């Protein structure tokens, strides 16, 4: 079935604008029930909304994370950001990336979420030192913390030199955010240029970084032994910081909002609240796949080059919580290996902000969502 206006009765919302809509969940549920897989002519995309369909697309061998003719987004091609992007295991289905992925995944799995949370307490104190003395944190300060503490904690856990130099730590986080923002289809020329500069800066910083205590020396040695280029290892280390950036900020921010709405059931322990937010107000609302060949997908004939928008958020809100894993972390070959770490970091960031007097009730009164086609990131005013 080919459709343009997906769900009657819910106007002014489509599968992309849903990401930043105040309450997209009735729309997603309706879509999952009535149009679990359809062609949205207006957007030029297939859309998977039903649970079964979302899982089928993510599991399909011909559904790849990039269009085969376009391994790097055209806006980044030819820049340092494009070069870095092209080496990320996250953005590749090629066999060439499998050996590095096989080293990165156990390394991430070896990071204990509880130790990560503890480490972020110390790093939060370091960030305090760089804050101007003032009575209360502004929305701007809070936004900066959301984009800094998780990234700096991941860098520290990997053994990168961020502890002890709050100024450098903040700059690393800002560069990571600039590189992440440049990857968005909404990025303008200025954002793309800042992303290219950030990629270059991060590459140099990593090259100059003295090896600390952490898993990186072992990773580099194993990669060397497997004949993997050091540049690919470096790109993917930066890639981990990028993965930790927007989505974790979104999860922490949405948790603050949930706490600010003050429903009694949210008096649960913070890690429980974070896990519920990951399921019912998911930070990553969708991901995309591109057909590498003509195929039959969810009962439809799809063509090589077609793109599928995979509505993780619709799958998440349209049935009971099944299993441990929230849909926002993806499924299948590219599923997020940082899911437990991300939830621990989000909880630690919320706890750090609350310990500094941030009042979620006040925050929930003045925010908007940052423009994005896939991440639901609160921006506090
Ligand atoms: C709330 C925070 C996070 C969310 C919602 C999230 C979500 C996701 C999703 C949806 C994917 C799969 C994308 C796809 O299939 O198209 C993914 C992949 C990935 N994530 Fe996360 N992520 C988060 C935090 C993190 C953190 C903290 C790390 C590590 C430090 C991480 C590392 C990765 C990596 C390496 C991949 C690529 C896996 C692959 O391609 O095989 N993520 N993430």
How big is the CA angle at 314 (ends 311 and 317), to the nearest 5 degrees?
Answer: 150
DSSP line for 43-82: TTEEEE-SHHHHHHHHH-TTEESS-TT-SS-TTTTTSHHH
Mean pLDDT estimate for the chain = 93
To test the ligand 1 pocket, which listed residue (336, 339, 341, 374) has its Cβ within 8 A of the most ligand atoms?
A: 336
Task: Please give the Cα distance from 335 to 338 (Å, whole number).
Answer: 9
Quote the pLDDT of residue 153: 98
Query: Rounded to the nearest whole angstrom, what is the distance from the C-alpha of residue 329 to the centroid of ligand 1?
Result: 6
User: Cβ of 332: how many Cβ atoms within 10 Å?
Assistant: 14
- Percent pLDDT > 90 in the chain is 87
pTM score: 0.95
pLDDT interval class at 132 (50, 70, 90): low
203-256 pLDDT tens trace = 999 999 987 889 999 999 999 999 999 999 999 999 999 999 999 999 999 999
What pLDDT was estimated at residue 324? 76
In this prediction, residue 44 carries a pLDDT of 97
* Per-position DSSP letters for 278-338, written without gaps between them: HHHS-SB--EEEEESS-EEETTEEE-TT-EEEE-HHHHHHSS---SSS-GGG--GGG--TT
Residue 323 — very low, low, confident or very high, per pLDDT cuts 50/70/90?
A: confident
Q: Which residue reads 């992303």 in tokens? A: 195
- Provide mean pLDDT across the span 361-380: 97
* Residue 361 reports pLDDT greater than 70: yes
Q: Which of 378, 138, 122, 369 is nearest to 248 (CA)?
A: 378
For a mutational test of ligand 1's pocket, the pick from 338, 348, 375, 376, i.e. the residue with the most ligand atoms closer than 8 A to its C-beta, is: 338
C-alpha closest to that of 7 among 21, 45, 29, 19: 29
Tell how far the Cα of 269 is from the centroid of ligand 1, in angstroms.
24
Q: Which residues line ligand 1 (CB under 6 A)?
A: 65, 89-90, 101, 108, 154, 240, 243-244, 247-248, 251, 283-284, 287, 328-330, 334, 336-338, 341-342
Strand pairing class (37-40; 2-3) = parallel
Residue 266: band (very low, low, confident or very high) from pLDDT cuts 50, 70, 90: low
The domains found in the chain, sorted by start residue, are: 1-65+285-329 (3.30.43.20), 74-273+334-380 (1.10.630.10)
């Amino acid at each position: 079935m080919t459709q343009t206006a997906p769900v009657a009765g819910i106007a002014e919302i489509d599968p992309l604008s849903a990401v930043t809509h105040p309450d997209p969940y009735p729309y997603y549920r309706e879509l999952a029930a009535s149009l679990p897989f359809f062609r949205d002519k207006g957007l030029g995309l297939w859309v998977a909304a039903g649970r079964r369909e979302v899982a089928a697309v993510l599991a399909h061998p011909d559904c790849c994370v990039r269009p085969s003719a376009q391994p790097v987004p055209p806006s980044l091609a030819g820049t340092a950001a494009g070069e870095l992007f092209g080496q990320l295991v996250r953005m590749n289905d090629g066999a060439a990336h499998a050996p590095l992925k096989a080293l990165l995944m156990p390394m991430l799995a070896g990071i204990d979420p509880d130790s990560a949370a503890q480490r972020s307490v110390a790093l939060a104190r370091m960030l305090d030192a760089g804050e101007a003395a003032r009575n209360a944190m502004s929305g701007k300060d809070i936004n900066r913390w959301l984009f800094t503490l998780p990234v700096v904690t991941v860098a520290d856990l990997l053994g990168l030199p961020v502890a002890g130099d709050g100024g450098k730590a903040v700059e690393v986080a800002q560069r990571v955010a600039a590189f992440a923002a440049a990857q968005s289809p909404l990025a303008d020329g200025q954002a793309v240029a800042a992303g290219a500069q950030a990629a270059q800066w991060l590459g140099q910083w990593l090259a100059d970084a003295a090896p600390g205590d952490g898993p990186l020396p072992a990773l580099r040695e194993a990669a060397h032994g497997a004949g993997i280029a050091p540049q690919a290892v470096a790109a993917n280390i930066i890639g981990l910081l990028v993965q930790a950036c927007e989505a974790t900020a979104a999860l922490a921010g949405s948790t603050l909002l949930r706490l600010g709405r003050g429903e009694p059931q949210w008096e649960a322990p913070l890690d429980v609240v974070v896990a519920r937010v990951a399921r019912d107000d998911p930070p990553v609302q969708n991901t995309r796949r591109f057909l590498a060949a003509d195929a039959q997908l969810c009962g439809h004939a799809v063509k090589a080059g077609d793109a599928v928008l995979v509505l993780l958020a619709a799958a998440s809100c349209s049935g009971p919580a099944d299993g441990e894993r929230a849909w926002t972390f993806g499924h299948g070959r590219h599923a997020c290996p940082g899911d437990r770490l991300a939830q621990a970091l989000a909880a630690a960031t919320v706890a750090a902000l609350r310990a500094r007097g941030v009042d979620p009730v006040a925050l929930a009164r003045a925010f908007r969502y940052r423009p994005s086609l896939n991440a639901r990131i609160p921006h506090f005013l």
